[in-house]
Amino acid sequence: MSDERPLKVITRRDLLKGAGLASAAAMAGHAGLPAEAEASAPMAQSPATVPARVVFENLTAAEGDLLNAVVARLIPTDALGPGAKEAGAARYIDRALGGALSASKQAYSSGLAALDRYARNSRGKSFLDLPPADQDLVLKDVEAGTASSGAGSAQFFAMVLNHTRQGTFGDPFYGGNVDFIGWDLLQYPGVRTMVTAADQQAMEHGQLKPNHKSAYDVETFNKATVRVEHGDGGHHAD
């Protein structure tokens, strides 16, 4: 018997119909980072292309691979372009677990283990080895809370979905939204401190060229002070 319950995935049609530029602008800054964590944000990184094999810093390699597979189903790649996996959502989450989202680290470790255990028990294979359709069925059960006793799996699903959105649509400075995939998906024109009349007209006609810059690339942007240590002597943005 097929399961008719829809998985709470995010399709491009949903995004373009329901999100709009206002929602994109709201997500373009710190992707919902707690205010008290913005000043230090130890997981912050300059925008960069995610390598073919992500080196996870706070999750184990197995946990990271599993998380990558999950986010790939939550905001999937389709004929119109790349999704959350390509946008580096898992890398964003992993780095944030060492900083602003550190309180969720244990929830990720136990939740990912429970998800994979449920996949093996219910489908006979690890989540990574399942075809996309079966992965979706597993995630439906996780979302509904039927993959564990009580509401534990539903809470885990809601947490991962929220953080996946942050990693896909937040400022790329924090490790996600690689190559501005999320902003391009929403047709968000980018962080701008001034919009001219010509810019406004171009935007209304769908002709405004996206401004592919992190908020921290704008000298006058002063929302938070972030400092990241690099081998080249460090990088900071005020």
Is residue 2 a part of any domain in this protein? no
pLDDT of residue 4: 59
Question: pLDDT tens across 180-192, in order?
Answer: 999 888 877 777 7
Is residue 78 a part of any domain in this protein? yes
Helix or strand run (H / E) with residue 111 = helix 105-123
How far apart are alpha carbons 169 and 12 in whole angstroms?
13
- Residues contacting 114, CB < 8 A, separation 6+: 147, 148, 152, 153, 156
Higher pLDDT, 79 or 140: 140
How far apart are alpha carbons 41 and 52 in whole angstroms?
25
- Residues contacting 220, CB < 8 A, separation 6+: 193
Question: pLDDT tens across 26-63, in order?
Answer: 444 443 343 333 333 333 444 445 545 678 999 999 99
How far apart are alpha carbons 95 and 79 in whole angstroms?
29
Higher pLDDT, 213 or 91: 91
pLDDT of residue 197: 85
CA 78 remoteness from chain centre: 17
- Looking at the structure of the chain, the number of domains it has is 1
Residue 80, pLDDT > 80, answer no
Please tell me the pTM assigned to this model: 0.73
How far apart are alpha carbons 137 and 225 in whole angstroms?
43
Higher pLDDT, 207 or 116: 116
Mean pLDDT across the stretch 163-180? 93
Q: Name the residue range of residue 170's domain.
A: 12-237
Is residue 193 a part of any domain in this protein? yes
Q: Closest Cα to residue 146, out of 127, 121, 128? A: 121
